[in-house]
Amino acid sequence: MAQRTSEAQSHSDAVQRVQAAHSFAVQLPILGRVPLPRPEQLAFFAAIGLLAAVEIIEWPVALTIAAGHVLITDQHNRAVQEIGEALEGV
């Protein structure tokens, strides 16, 4: 019973670390370290890809939505960083 409790705690800790992380990367043999989006962004991209694969939306529309999402996320991250830098100066 104690082993299951420690395994559950270990799993819970791992989930919290993943949720708190700002970036992820995978080490690939030829490409080296490849950055990945956060899990919720990865799920969004997978859903858009699935919609395009079953032809609910066209591929150009899916690519446009994904590109817009990337641009908005990048702009949001820069804005948050600038706010943080401004608060550090106070």
* Domain total of the chain: 1
| Full domain range(s) for residue 8 | 2-88
Other Cβ atoms less than 10 A from the Cβ of 2: the count is 6
The model's pTM = 0.56
Q: How far apart are CA 36 and CA 24, in angstroms?
A: 5
Calculate mean pLDDT across residues 1-25. 62
Residue for token pair 């990945």: 36
What's the pLDDT tens digit per position in 35-68?
Answer: 777 788 889 999 999 999 999 999 999 999 998 8
